[in-house]
């Protein structure tokens, strides 16, 4: 199969345990605020899994982009210089996140280093037309600004050139 340029890390489960606090706010098991309109969940890698944390302790965030990229967990920082870190800068806002630089995900024959003689999802599904198409070859290049996703013109899918809201995570 084709190579995927950007690996999405998922721990396979999501923690949604909530209780109502004395002051009426919703909090999870660790006492962290939970909002129904969260567009970014701050995470830290702890004991072999990603767990929700306070924005000040964040090492990664979980986003849900419309389109083929779907749910992503990205390494981020909210302070300092990102040069040479391999991290995105994040404004710390869970409702209207902004990230820098752009986010590029590529799969199948769009992935860097893909050779024309290699097998990709497009070729696979042409040869297996009876199988359900669960994967696609794509390029998705976006900016995330104030909780909105701008799909750049170099995207290979139907959302190219559009700006949509991030989905709730």
- Decide if 31 is inside a domain: yes
Is the residue at 2 inside a domain? no
Query: Is residue 25 scored above 80 in pLDDT?
Result: no
Q: Is 80 exceeded by the pLDDT of residue 104?
A: yes
- Whole-model pTM: value is 0.75
pLDDT at 28: 52
Q: Is residue 11 part of a domain?
A: no
Is the torsion defined by CA of 158, 161, 164, 166 positive or negative? positive
Is pLDDT at 43 greater than 60 in this prediction?
yes
Q: What b/e sequence results for 136-149 when a residue is b if at least 16 CB atoms lie within 10 Å of its CB, and e otherwise?
A: ebbbbbbbbeebbb
- Among 96, 46, 87, 39, smallest CA distance to 62 is for 39
**Cα separation, 134 vs 121, whole angstroms:** 9
What confidence tens digit (pLDDT) does each residue in 117-141 have? 888 888 888 888 898 877 889 999 9
| Structural domain that includes position 57 | 18-165
Residue 9 is assigned to a structural domain of this protein: no
- Asked, for residue 148, whether it belongs to a domain, the answer is yes
Quick one: residue 127, left, alpha or beta (phi over 0 = left, psi -120 to 50 = alpha)? alpha
The tens digit of pLDDT for each residue in 66-87 reads 999 999 999 999 988 889 999 9
Residue 130 located in a structural domain = yes
Q: How many domains does the chain have?
A: 1
Say yes or no to pLDDT of 91 above 70.
Answer: yes
Q: What are phi and psi for residue 72, nearest 5 degrees? A: -125, 145
Torsion from C-alpha of 2, 64, 67, 107, nearest 10 degrees: -10
pLDDT band at 53 (very low <50, low <70, confident <90, very high): very high
Could you tell me if residue 160 is inside a domain? yes
pLDDT score, position 17: 25
């Amino acid at each position: 199969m084709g190579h995927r340029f950007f690996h999405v890390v998922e721990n396979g489960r999501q923690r949604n345990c909530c209780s109502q606090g004395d002051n009426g706010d919703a909090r999870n098991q660790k006492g962290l605020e939970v909002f129904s309109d969260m567009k970014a969940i701050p995470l830290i890698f702890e004991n072999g899994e990603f767990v929700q944390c306070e924005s000040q302790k964040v090492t990664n965030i979980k986003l849900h982009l419309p389109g083929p990229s779907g749910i992503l967990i990205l390494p981020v920082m909210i302070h300092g210089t990102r040069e040479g870190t391999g991290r995105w800068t994040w404004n710390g806002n869970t409702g209207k996140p902004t990230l820098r630089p752009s986010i590029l995900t590529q799969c199948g024959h769009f992935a860097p280093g893909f050779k024309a003689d290699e097998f990709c999802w497009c070729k696979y599904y042409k040869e297996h037309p009876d199988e359900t198409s669960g994967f696609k070859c794509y390029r998705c290049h976006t900016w995330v600004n104030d909780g909105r996703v701008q799909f750049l013109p170099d995207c290979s899918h139907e959302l190219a050139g559009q700006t949509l809201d991030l989905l709730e995570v």
